[in-house]
Amino acid sequence: MHQPLIRIEHLSKSYWRGPQAVPVLEDINFEILDGEFLALVGPSGSGKSTLLNLIAGIDVPDSGRIIVGETDIATLSESELAGWRSSHVGFIFQFYNLIPVLTALENVELPLTLAGLSRSKRREHAERALAAVNLADRMDHRPSQLSGGQQQRVAIARAIVADPDILVADEPTGDLDRASAEDILHLMNRLNSELCKTIVMVTHDQRAAEAAHLIRRLDKGTLDVSPEAGL
């Protein structure tokens, strides 16, 4: 039986607009099980990306706890968070964030440059990650030589190369045509089922959301955790 990997307790976050605090998330409470594939949905401005960034340790809450494994990441310093992210989180973005002058292999190697691995070990890990996303035959291509779907698969290989516990995906199919989007969703399901990656995905796309195991809806900074919340 899967145990909770992420526990979120009384989480709140506001941003400042001049002298005025604008609440984005208010008293969020829920758990994400180890091995879960969760989609966060809701209208623009509902706090989805803010919640994703908090779970990933990119941002810090005003109050509340984010416990990943045994670590309350809300209590970590900026440098401690950076080290925690590099070990535990892989990032998948809507616009890939690949470096144009680097090959697919070099882009995938990037997260390993601070890991103290030899060049040959970095290449070995990167080649394995590219093979996992079916791009072993494109590793010497630069992003401009790849389709949008292939670029996103390179980005996913980069996200998994350090073997993180959690993959966070912000609109991973938002810049893709339908066929490429379906391909990426199939790949994410494979990473979840075969590599046991816990995935938290923000999406506006109902088809993408339905590829997840569980859908949670955010609206006006609050989270609906009822069984029918994603419908």
Q: Has residue 124 been placed in a domain?
A: yes
Per-residue model confidence (pLDDT) at position 123 = 93
Q: Are 73 and 95 within 8 A, CB to CB?
A: no
Residue 163 token pair: 């073997």
Per-residue model confidence (pLDDT) at position 225 = 67
When divided into structural domains, the chain yields a total of 1
212 φ/ψ angles, rounded to the nearest 5 degrees? -80, 165
DSSP class of 182: H
Q: Which long-range contacts (CB under 8 A, 24 or more apart) does 63-67 make?
A: 63/10, 63/11, 63/12, 64/8, 64/9, 64/10, 64/11, 64/12, 64/27, 64/28, 65/7, 65/8, 65/9, 65/10, 65/11, 66/6, 66/7, 66/8, 66/11, 67/6, 67/7, 67/8, 67/9
Q: Has residue 76 been placed in a domain?
A: no
Q: What is the DSSP string of 135-181?
A: -GGGTT--GGGS-HHHHHHHHHHHHHTT--SEEEEESTTTTS-HHHH
Q: Has residue 202 been placed in a domain?
A: yes
CA distance 199 to 187: 12
Per-residue model confidence (pLDDT) at position 12 = 95
168 φ/ψ angles, rounded to the nearest 5 degrees? -110, 130
Q: Is 219 helix (H, G, I), strand (E, B) or coil?
A: strand
CATH code (residue 193)? 3.40.50.300
Q: Has residue 15 been placed in a domain?
A: no
Per-residue model confidence (pLDDT) at position 228 = 47
Residues of the chain scoring pLDDT < 50? 227-231
User: Strands 63-68 and 198-202: what pairing?
Assistant: unpaired
Q: Has residue 4 been placed in a domain?
A: no
Q: Has residue 17 been placed in a domain?
A: no
pTM of the model as a whole: 0.90
Q: Give whole-number Cα distances, 184 to 87, 117, 191, in Å.
A: 24, 29, 11
Minimal CA–CA distance to 135: which of 102, 158, 116? 158
Provide the residue range defining the domain that includes 145.
Answer: 36-48+82-224
Q: Has residue 31 been placed in a domain?
A: no
pLDDT in tens, 138-150: 999 999 999 999 9
pLDDT in tens, 209-231: 999 999 999 988 888 765 444 44
Q: Has residue 25 been placed in a domain?
A: no
Q: Are 8 and 61 within 8 A, CB to CB?
A: no
Per-residue model confidence (pLDDT) at position 114 = 73
Q: Are 107 and 154 within 8 A, CB to CB?
A: yes
Q: For residue 214, how far is the Cα from the chain centroid?
A: 15
